[in-house]
Amino acid sequence: MFPVRLEGTTAPTLMWAEEWTIEQAALQQLRNMADLPWVHGVRVMPDVHVGKGATVGSVIAMREAVAPAAVGVDIGCGMTAVRTDVTASDLPDSLRSMRSRIERAVPVGFAMHERAVNVGALDVADAGGVKKGWHRFWQDFGDLHSGVQPRESKAMKQIGTLGGGNHFIEVCLSDADEVWLMLHSGSRNIGKELAERHIAVARALPHNQRLVDRDLAVFLAGSKEMDAYRHDLTWAQEYAARNRAVMLTLVMQAFRQALPGRPVRFDEPISCHHNYVSEEVIDGEPMLVTRKGAIRAGRGDLGLIPGSMGTGSYVVRGLGSELSFNSASHGAGRTMSRTKAKKRFTVDDLVRQTSGVESRKDAGVIDEIPGAYKDIEQVIEAQADLVEVVAHLRQVVCVKG
């Protein structure tokens, strides 16, 4: 059944979702992007929905150009998960204490650590290959956009913190009752500031003045503006990966402490970005590929596709679909805005829809209610030619900001 073609676009646009299921605003964003002269092709994932500047759930291959809005402001946002040797029978009857331990270990929302985490004294999980090189990483901060230089101390204190919105930390059970730890976060405030500053630069460039949508302003290869953006983008993507690695380590420690007397072993973590840029060969040509709300799903690539806070998640393995630019969805995808969700649902709805999950059940997270998201089972089914399921996970603990 999939993909289907979005008609009326200059660059070929293939979708793993029916056109009638996508908001008109998102379809217009996709058409605007596909009509840019630098775009080779657009691929649309089944979790597609309207986004700020560019569509969430889009994969865009460009020649000699990149649109920072097609990456998003949470540069490097992504997922990390690890399987433990603990089973459901090892868990205590009440998981409230476990959730409290995790919340004490990892600041959420706008909170940050009182001082930067001493990674030298912490056996940081090698999630995404970022276990070493911390000194050099922070040395490079001085080469970032001048506007973020006063933010170094804050950026250091936000390493190992969750943030808010749809970011989460979860304890999950597989269908075989294996316990997994999973988290979703990105580059925190420093990534947002870098993205917004570079988007403002792009919007002011002469070649972007006649665009139908200035939010889709691009940088061109060989320009100093492109070089500066790619430099800062690469740093922010690494910051996001390091943030998740430190956070996972803190969660692993809290999990161990919640099971006194029970030694816990962890597998190698799985980690993947879903807001990023990479250099790839598409249809035989070198391209800059942006994935905003999409993961790489090359043959054999392990990935993570979460649902909402009460509906489970999936560990997947990519099938290497060249038609999709080796991509898959990053999650379930929203069906309504946060504002609409807050108006439509009540705390009672939240309690009912998150039954069986140890989590916040108050007005502050109503916008994250499962009813505001697409059916994760249907999203996975729609991309059966893109990924195969390795494990299905269901939440028993969910921490949100």
For residue 358, tell me if it sits in a domain. no
Instruction: Quote the number of domains for the chain.
Output: 1
Of residues 29, 92, 87, 85, the one with CA closest to residue 60: 29
Residue 90 lies in domain:
4-335+373-400
Any domain includes 354: no
Written as six digits, the tokens of 259 are 């099971």
User: Under a CB-based contact definition with an 8 Å cutoff, are residues 254 and 298 in contact?
Assistant: no
Question: Does residue 122 belong to any structural domain of this protein?
Answer: yes
Does the annotation list 74 as a binding residue? yes
Q: What is residue 18's predicted lDDT score, i.e. its pLDDT?
A: 96
* 2 annotated as belonging to a binding site for a ligand: no
Measured between its terminal Cα atoms, the distance across the chain in Å is 38
In a domain, 390, yes or no: yes
In 10 A of CB 343, how many CB atoms?
11
Residue 31 half-sphere exposure, CB side, CA atoms within 13 Å?
Answer: 13
Token pair for 96: 């409230």
- Per-residue pLDDT, 165: 93
pLDDT of residue 133: 85
Listing DSSP states for 252-295 in one string gives: HHHHHHTSTT----B---EEEESEEEEEEEETTEEEEEEEESEE
pLDDT at 109: 96
Residue 151 to residue 196: CA distance in whole angstroms: 14
**Beta-bridge mates of residue 44:** 15, 58
Burial (CB count within 10 angstroms: exposed 0-12, middle 13-18, buried 19+), residue 37: exposed
How far apart are alpha carbons 85 and 315 in whole angstroms?
Answer: 17
313 labelled ligand-binding: yes
Dist CA 188 CA 158 (whole Å): 7
Bridge partner residues of 279 (DSSP): 288
Residue 264 dihedral angles phi and psi, to the nearest 5°: -120, 130
Find the catalytic residue in 49, 273, 330, 392: 330
**pLDDT for the residue 122:** 82
Is the CB of residue 359 less than 8 Å from the CB of residue 397? yes
Alpha-helical regions (H) of 42-187: 96-105, 134-139, 152-158
Q: Does the residue 380 lie in any domain?
A: yes
CATH number assigned to the domain comprising residue 51? 3.90.1860.10
Q: Is 330 annotated as a binding residue?
A: yes
pLDDT at 140: 95
Rg (CA), the chain: 20
Look up 207 and say whether it is catalytic: no
Q: What is the pLDDT of residue 121?
A: 79
If we measure between CA atoms, which residue out of 208, 356, 273, 262 comes closest to residue 75? 273
Question: What is the spatial distance between Cα 284 and Cα 291, in angstroms, rounded to a whole number?
Answer: 19
CA angle 60, 162, 345 (to 5 degrees): 80
Question: Does 331 belong to an annotated binding site?
Answer: yes
> Which parts of the chain have pLDDT scores under 50?
none
Q: Flag whether 206 is marked binding.
A: no
Q: Examine residue 92 and say whether the peptide bond preceding it is cis (omega within 30 degrees of 0).
A: no
Contacts with 305 (C-beta within 8 Å, 6 or more apart), sequence order: 295, 313, 314, 316, 328, 329, 330, 331, 376, 379, 380, 387
In a domain, 266, yes or no: yes
Output the pTM of the full model: 0.96
Instruction: Summarize pLDDT for 143-195 with one digit per residue, the tens.
Output: 999 999 999 999 999 999 999 999 999 999 999 999 999 999 999 999 999 99
Within a domain: 364: no
Task: Record the tokens describing residue 308, joined without a space.
Answer: 């909402």
349: in domain: no
**Annotated binding residue 190:** no
